[in-house]
Amino acid sequence: MSAAPPAAASAPTRNPPLNVDAVPDAVPKAEPRSARGNPPFYEVYGQRYLVLPAATGYLERGVASWYGPTFHGGNTSSGEQYDMYGMTAAHKTLPLPTYARVTNLKNGRSIVVRINDRGPFVANRLIDLSYTAAAKLDMLREGTTLVEVRALTPGAPDDLSRSAASPPPALYLQAGAFADAQNAQRALDKLRGAGLANAFLAPPVQGHSRLYRLRLGPVASVADFDQLAARLAALGVPDARLATE
């Protein structure tokens, strides 16, 4: 959450909606990049973040969190006021604003949000959702969940590939991808030698990838994700990502 100077924007909702599930998703529309919150790069807590030049084609999986009353009515990085009852989100590198579909990989629920803020600046966190967005994904009680974030292009088809009726996919932590099988095996041996017995190599998928993917898992929860990510970081693998089958 940013402390940017205020800008002209509608005031946040004072009272919570009676039924958050009835709150409509954000509707993608063409908008200019915000005059605030879109520098080429910025630093927070000594970490430098590069703002993406465009959101086209962005798809990432990771951990979602949410932010609520403490920030309600404050200023977002774009200069708009934060409304915890709106369908918005914060992201570290996507352009502001960006519309994105966020899917809870644990239960299949899916929403569309408008990203207008920066954050979350916590290790292993991908996106920070508004209270209502988190409620619609059924993640308020746990506080975090594993999600897929896919940027949407206004006017382009939004192909939702999963539904609430679909079984949750198996989730893994991907520690690397290798074109050479011997290099992949050496990396696997290093992880197993460090006690990570659930590390394995996923072979190339014909017609999709020529890479050997080094993975750990399956990952059952955010706690599993955080624990494995911390162990990999200690072994010199700081950029492990969540992956599906």
pLDDT at 12 over 70: no
What is the tens place of the pLDDT at every residue in 33-78?
Answer: 999 999 999 999 999 999 999 999 999 999 999 998 899 999 999 9
Distance CA(244)–CA(170), nearest Å, equals 6
Residue 224 — φ and ψ, nearest 5°?
Answer: -60, -45
Question: In this structure, what DSSP letter does residue 75 have?
Answer: B
* pTM attached to this predicted model: 0.86
Q: Is residue 54 part of a domain?
A: yes
Using 50, 70 and 90 to split pLDDT, how confident is the model at 157?
confident
Q: Does residue 51 share a domain with residue 142?
A: yes
Q: Is 54 helix (H, G, I), strand (E, B) or coil?
A: coil
Question: Per-residue pLDDT averaged across 208-215, rounded?
Answer: 90
Instruction: Tell me the CA end-to-end span of the chain in Å, nearest whole number.
Output: 33
Beta bridge partners of 88: 114
Distance CA(214)–CA(185), nearest Å, equals 9
Distance CA(43)–CA(26), nearest Å, equals 29
Residue 239 — φ and ψ, nearest 5°?
Answer: -115, 35
Query: How many separate domains does the chain show?
Result: 2
Q: What CATH number did the domain enclosing 205 receive?
A: 3.30.70.1070
What is the tens place of the pLDDT at every residue in 66-107?
Answer: 998 899 999 999 999 999 999 999 999 999 999 999 999 999
Domain membership of residue 222 as a residue range? 171-244
Distance CA(138)–CA(21), nearest Å, equals 10
Q: What CATH number did the domain enclosing 62 receive?
A: 2.40.40.10
47 token code pair: 């970490």
Mean pLDDT, the chain, rounded, equals: 90
Q: Does residue 183 share a domain with residue 103?
A: no
Question: Per-residue pLDDT averaged across 187-193, rounded?
Answer: 97
